[in-house]
Structure 1
Amino acid sequence: MRTRVRMAALAAALTLLGGVSACGADGDDRPDRADRAERQKPRGQDGQDGEPDGGAEPVWKRCAAPVTAHGSAAERPGDRWQCADLTVPLDHGDPSRGTIDIALIRAKAKEPGRRIGSLLFNFGGPGGSGVASLPLSAGQYTALNSRYDLVGFDPRGVAESSAVVCRDSAATEAAHRIDHTPDTPEEEKTYLRTSRAFGAGCAERSGRVLPHVGTENAARDMDLIRRALGDEKLHYLGFSYGTELGAVYAHLFPSRVGRLVLDGVVDPSADFVGSARNQVIGFQRALENYFTDRGEDPREGTRRIVRLLERVDRTPLTTASDRPLTENLALIGIILPLYSEASWPRLTEALEAAEDGDGTALLALADAYNNRDDKGAYSPQDHAQRAISCADSKGRVTADEVRSRHLAGFTRVSPVFGPYLAWDLAGWCADWPVAGAWESPDVSAPGAAPILVVGTTGDSATPYEGARRMADALGEGVGVLLTNKGDTHGAYGTSQCTTRTVDKYLLEGEIPEDGKVCD
């Protein structure tokens, strides 16, 4: 999935520029590396739906206080949180090729006498750190923590789990300043050259793990995590890309599915181009909903944004810093607040300032989305996101194909987001050093326990239609669709009705009627 979704950092970004807890970001709060040698290393698994071989219980230690990127008010781990590492095969198909460590964090159930088991989280991306995100957002899961150990993990290739790193912050800054909707042959060459250099940097700096960071490998890691935690079944709450990861797990291990919730659902039927087109549809829909809420004609509002972007393309706006607001950064600044209607007032303020010639507010929004701190350092989450997406998808689109097949159609759907996401087709996995695994993932899970699929009608990043397709693809009697009416990416914690329904399912095993709607 090529989704430019930062679900793992979204809460911090949308509180504008509140920091993201980076527990484990520098390795200071992980158990000592020497301790890992004391543990038996898992020997991999047989690739079937039988129990995996090996796997000792992780050594849990108290986590140190989190590092914060922007002065976050995130929950401090203290005694409540424990950290550990689980050693897994680098290549599940050939365990002899070595191992990597998967970073874990947990908060134990507050009512051990009523404990159900562990609840594993994935907050999306791909590339989001569960070790960082779970303490940040744990206040939303107090009810679940009564009967579950809350468990987060960094998927392979992410943060403390052998992070993919492809370039430094200076190169990232330069890449954000170039034109991502090239208007001239020279701009096109620069854009494609920068994209190719990114892939080459990934191969140079992270070549050992790069072929093995795909979703299927991560799903197999999740099964080893399940076993190491002592759970017979996997209980799981996945957001955004985490819905694809959870669904792939269900396909691989249907008999081990416990209570699974997929919220903010990726369309499993969409290929590389289809995924991008879905996002063009989703973000344009969200933009039109935003203008409608303001009492403004959505068509005129769209034209207003196009005029602003054309102006910024010609002459970048000045900001309160020495960094100009380019067209690319302006568009990213518009995209971020469309993830949640709660942040629409910030979009209004930023647009009005930009139209008056001040790009400061839009630049701040873009920096939040791009995980740039106030010292100019960028998180490598983008690197993992791209590496995982390109390891999964076979989609490789040339610039000629963008011009001849996709640009006009994408632009018709959205003159704001269409050109950007059409050119992204050529830039995202251009000359990628690793082959993709599939056109689209197989998520059929016959025989699995019911899986709750939550779709939000105004979801910008993963449009609602994908939730219905996911429920259908999981199979009859497996996928149970819950519809949330709203304008957010992900519903849990934003809709009382949806949150109650999910909690009843996870805590009591109460399965809602397929097709239930939360207004």
Structure 2
Amino acid sequence: MWQSWANLSKPVGILAYLGSREVVQDYDAIRTALGYEKIHFLGVSYGSYRAAQYAATFPERVGHFVLDAVVPHGLSIEEQVKDDIIAVNRGLDRADAFCQNSDTCYWHHAGRGSVQAAWSILLAKAANGTLAACDTPVNCTSFIPEWALQATLAGLLAGQPDFPQLLELLAVTYLGNGTALASSSPLTLDQVWSLPIICQDRPIPDKSFAGFQKMAKIAKSVDRYTIYQSMWLSFQLIGSVWPYAVPVEKPTFLNETLLLVTADFDNSQPTEKSTFLWETQTPHSGLVVRHGEDHVSFNLPTQASTNITKQFLLTGVLPLEEDSTFVTVYGPGQRRRPVADPYCVPTGFQAGDIDSL
């Protein structure tokens, strides 16, 4: 794949110059062309990585910077893999909490932990080759493999999870109709455009298969529900055959006043990553923790965290410290409390939950 992309790209060798170090040079060229002394920046997901890169490269140009769903500099791949696995397992707890609060959920009356128990049953069937990929298991000759079931659940929990849909799909499969989870689709451009940037940003310390197995072992050590899916474990594999030299990644120590935003149950960029950057590299910054899920908070218009982000982008003034039902705000130098109990925070629309059903 990489070789074909290298052959098709113009000018020749451009793939080696698509990292965030080059991207932020482009950002500053745009700033210069527009005549701005400073810029304001809303960096979401991997955009937060580039926001931190820009702030570290051009500190005198930093205006009001918000980093939402942080991807930090300087956190080892081992820790990122571990955080991913912890988060996706926490996402299944959150799905169960949603089920306990929704009378349309198949396991609503079965009590806390019933969704996780059902998942274990489905996983066991997939592992022994008996999870039928048909609308009825009788005389079915097609079966869902364990890895496909794991990947499907992780996909349903990623981004902005639609818990009613997720719970419906699990229930239909649990009752014997596996067609809903048996489908797959090819990668799209939207899913792969960022790969060259990420691979050029992040050196892989051990590109051997043994190195990958080491990462997989770390993942399994914290995988309570055997979901075994990690974005950074995938990047470890993809980056192991990246054909270009990658500069050493360094932490970004940022003395500017920034605002970091995270969600307790972000399964795509775990909240631990925002905490890591806030506590170790941004001594004058604030942290906003939204007590819900969803990857990226700013696109949820009714959330308290969104209003806080807008105010900071307008004024550059950190929000007052706060600890409420939907959001907790920390000031510089504080220590963050543990991630909220998934059963003790709100679910539903006010918490940012999507409901397509």
Structure 1-normalised TM-score?
Answer: 0.52
Deviation at 1:416? 2.8
The equivalences for 1:284-363 within 5 A come to 284-295=89-100, 296-297=112-113, 300-307=117-124, 309-310=126-127, 317-318=133-134, 327-339=146-158, 343-362=162-181
Question: What does residue 239 of structure 1 align with?
Answer: 44
Deviation at 1:217? 0.9
Pair 1:252–1:489, CA change in 2 (3 A): same
Which secondary structure does the structure 2 equivalent of 1:200 belong to? helix
Deviation at 1:281? 1.3
Which secondary structure does the structure 2 equivalent of 1:460 belong to? coil
Question: What does residue 468 of structure 1 align with?
Answer: 275
| Cα pair 1:483 1:515 within 8 Å, conserved | no
Question: What does residue 251 of structure 2 align with?
Answer: 442
> Is 1:408 aligned to residue 211 of structure 2?
no
Question: What does residue 52 of structure 1 align with?
Answer: none
Question: What does residue 389 of structure 1 align with?
Answer: 198
Which secondary structure does the structure 2 equivalent of 1:402 belong to? helix
Query: Which amino acid in 1 is paired with 2:40?
Result: H
Which secondary structure does the structure 1 equivalent of 2:265 belong to? coil
| Cα pair 1:268 1:469 within 8 Å, conserved | no
Aligned residues: 304
Deviation at 1:199? 2.7
CA distance in 1 between partners of 2:162 and 2:62 (Å): 35
Match of 2:59 among 254, 263, 268: 254
| Cα pair 1:267 1:470 within 8 Å, conserved | yes
Moved more, 213-222 or 486-495: 486-495
CA distance in 2 between partners of 1:271 and 1:205 (Å): 32
Question: What does residue 335 of structure 2 align with?
Answer: none
CA distance in 1 between partners of 2:178 and 2:292 (Å): 29
Pair 1:251–1:426, CA change in 2 (3 A): closer
Query: Which amino acid in 2 is paired with 1:503?
Result: K
Which secondary structure does the structure 1 equivalent of 2:288 belong to? strand
Question: What does residue 379 of structure 1 align with?
Answer: 188
Deviation at 1:473? 3.8
Query: Which amino acid in 2 is paired with 1:436?
Result: V
Pair 1:333–1:393, CA change in 2 (3 A): same
The equivalences for 1:185-204 within 5 A come to 198-204=1-7
Identity %: 22
Pair 1:493–1:420, CA change in 2 (3 A): closer
Match of 2:292 among 473, 481, 486: 486
Question: What does residue 234 of structure 2 align with?
Answer: 424
Pair 1:514–1:470, CA change in 2 (3 A): farther
CA distance in 1 between partners of 2:161 and 2:216 (Å): 32
| Cα pair 2:132 2:177 within 8 Å, conserved | no
| Cα pair 1:316 1:326 within 8 Å, conserved | no
Which secondary structure does the structure 2 equivalent of 1:407 belong to? helix
Deviation at 1:280? 1.0
Pair 1:218–1:500, CA change in 2 (3 A): same
Query: Which amino acid in 2 is paired with 1:493?
Result: N
- Runs (5+) with no aligned partner, structure 2: 101-111, 136-141, 328-357
Deviation at 1:272? 2.4
Query: Which amino acid in 2 is paired with 1:277?
Result: K
Pair 1:354–1:199, CA change in 2 (3 A): farther
Question: What does residue 506 of structure 1 align with?
Answer: 313
Query: Which amino acid in 2 is paired with 1:343?
Result: D
Pair 1:225–1:210, CA change in 2 (3 A): same
The equivalences for 1:106-255 within 5 A come to 198-206=1-9, 208-255=13-60
Deviation at 1:402? 3.4
Query: Which amino acid in 2 is paired with 1:452?
Result: L
| Cα pair 1:248 1:443 within 8 Å, conserved | yes
CA distance in 2 between partners of 1:437 and 1:516 (Å): 41
CA distance in 1 between partners of 2:61 and 2:232 (Å): 39
Which secondary structure does the structure 1 equivalent of 2:273 belong to? helix
Query: Which amino acid in 2 is paired with 1:476?
Result: P
Pair 1:472–1:220, CA change in 2 (3 A): farther
CA distance in 1 between partners of 2:76 and 2:322 (Å): 26
- Runs (5+) with no aligned partner, structure 1: 1-197, 373-377
Query: Which amino acid in 1 is paired with 2:263?
Result: T
Deviation at 1:514? 5.8
Which secondary structure does the structure 1 equivalent of 2:193 belong to? helix
| Cα pair 1:308 1:355 within 8 Å, conserved | no
Which secondary structure does the structure 1 equivalent of 2:71 belong to? coil
Query: Which amino acid in 2 is paired with 1:489?
Result: H
Pair 1:425–1:220, CA change in 2 (3 A): closer
| Cα pair 2:19 2:201 within 8 Å, conserved | yes
Which secondary structure does the structure 1 equivalent of 2:292 belong to? coil
Pair 1:385–1:358, CA change in 2 (3 A): farther
| Cα pair 2:263 2:289 within 8 Å, conserved | yes
CA distance in 1 between partners of 2:313 and 2:71 (Å): 21
| Cα pair 1:264 1:491 within 8 Å, conserved | yes
Structure 2-normalised TM-score?
Answer: 0.74
Pair 1:318–1:346, CA change in 2 (3 A): same
Match of 1:264 among 64, 69, 87: 69
Could you give the per-residue CA deviations for residues 288-317 of structure 1, whole angstroms, max 9, x where no partner exists?
A: 2212332441652552353254256x7772
Deviation at 1:507? 2.3
| Cα pair 1:452 1:480 within 8 Å, conserved | yes
Could you give the per-residue CA deviations for residues 410-458 of structure 1, whole angstroms, max 9, x where no partner exists?
A: 11311533366696365222322012223x4432123x3x211001111
| Cα pair 1:402 1:422 within 8 Å, conserved | no
Deviation at 1:218? 1.0
Deviation at 1:511? 2.0
